[in-house]
Amino acid sequence: MTSAPDESDDELLLRSQSGDEEAFLTLYRRRQAGLFRFALHMSGSMPVAEDVTQEVFLALLRGDCGYDPARGTLSGYLFGIARKLVLRHLERRRSSIALETDADDYTQPELAVIDDPLLDLTRREGIDALRRAVQALPRRYREVVVLCDLEEVDYADAAVALGCPIGTVRSRLHRARGLLLEKLHQERNTRQAPGTLKPVRCVS
C-alpha cells in the first residue's frame, strides 16, 4: 500500500501498527532527519545520533509505545524519546570520559580572527563559533535551542518533548540565547586579547 504525501503522522502510525511497512517507512523518512540532527547537536557524535534515531523508531514499533495523541503531536513525542535516549548516552559518556569531554569544550577554535562574531554569524566562522557555543551550553538550555531554534520545532511540541510547560520552554530559550550572546562576546574578547597584549620590553 502506498502512502499519500498529505497523510498525517497519526494516520501513518496507525497503519504501521496494523502491519503496513510502507506507512512505517514513510513515517521514518519524514521524521528521521530532524531526530538525527537533534541527537547529533546534543551529543556531538554521529554514532550516538545514529543509535538514537534507530532506537526511537524501534520504540515506536512496540505496541505499548505510550504515544497519546491527546497529549501532543507524534513529532513532539518522538523528540521526547530521542531526548531521553540522548541523555542516557550523555550520562554514560560523562561517567566514562568526562575529562575528554571537558577538554573538548574548551578547545580554542582554529578560525580566522574576526572582529566581532556577533556582527556576522552567517559567515563560515560565525556559524562554527555559534555551533560550538551551542554545544557548550548547559544541557537544559542546549536542548531547547536545538529543538526550537535549529530544528524549528514549535513551542508546544518542544514542551511535549521536554516534559515541561510552554512557559518554561520560552523562559529557557530566553535564558539560553542570553548565554549564547554572552559566550560569543567572551570568545571575541579572548581572540582579541593576544593582539592587544603585546609583549613590551622594560627599559627602565
Partner 1 sequence: MNCQEFWNTIPELGECDESHLLECPTCAVRMMRHRELEAGFRAVAAGSRQVAAPPRVEARLRTAFRQQTGAEHHSPSRPWIPAVTWVAAFAAMFALAAFLVRTRQPEPVRPPAPRAVEMAAVQQPVDYDGFIPLPNSAGVAADEDDVNLVRVEVPRSAMIALGLDVSADRASELVEADVMLGSNGVARAVRFLE
Cβ atoms of residues 107 and 114 within 8 Å: no
Distance CA 40, CA 43 (A): 5
The reply to whether 59 sits near partner 1 by the rule CB under 8 A is no
Coil/strand/helix, residue 97: helix
In angstroms, give the least distance from the CB of 98 to partner 1: 26
Q: Name the region of 79 (left: φ>0; alpha: ψ -120 to 50; beta: rest).
A: alpha
In contact, 76 and 158? CB cutoff 8 Å: yes
Q: Which of 48, 86, 130, 158 binds partner 1 (CB under 8 A)?
A: 130
Contact flag: residue 135 with partner 1 (CB under 8 A)? no
* CA–CA gap between residue 101 and residue 121 (Å, rounded): 25
CB–CB of 90/43 below 8 Å?
Answer: yes
x-or-dash string of contact with partner 1, 86-125, rule CB under 8 A: --------------------------------xxxxx---
179 lies in the binding site for partner 1 (CB under 8 A): no
Q: Does 141 engage in binding with partner 1 (CB under 8 A)?
A: no
- Regarding 79 and contact with partner 1 (CB under 8 A), the answer is no
User: By C-beta, is 74 or 173 nearer to partner 1?
Assistant: 173
Assess 149 for contact with partner 1 (CB under 8 A): yes
Note whether 13 and 67 are within 8 A (CB).
yes
Q: Residue 49 interacts with partner 1 (CB under 8 A)?
A: yes
**Minimum distance between the CB of residue 113 and partner 1, rounded to whole angstroms?**
18
Cell of 4: 499519500
Residue 174: how many CB atoms within 10 A of its CB?
12
Site residues, partner 1 (CB under 8 A): 16, 19, 21, 24-25, 28-29, 32-33, 35-37, 40-41, 49-50, 53-54, 57-58, 61, 118-122, 126-127, 130-131, 134, 145, 149-152, 170-171, 173-174, 177, 180-181
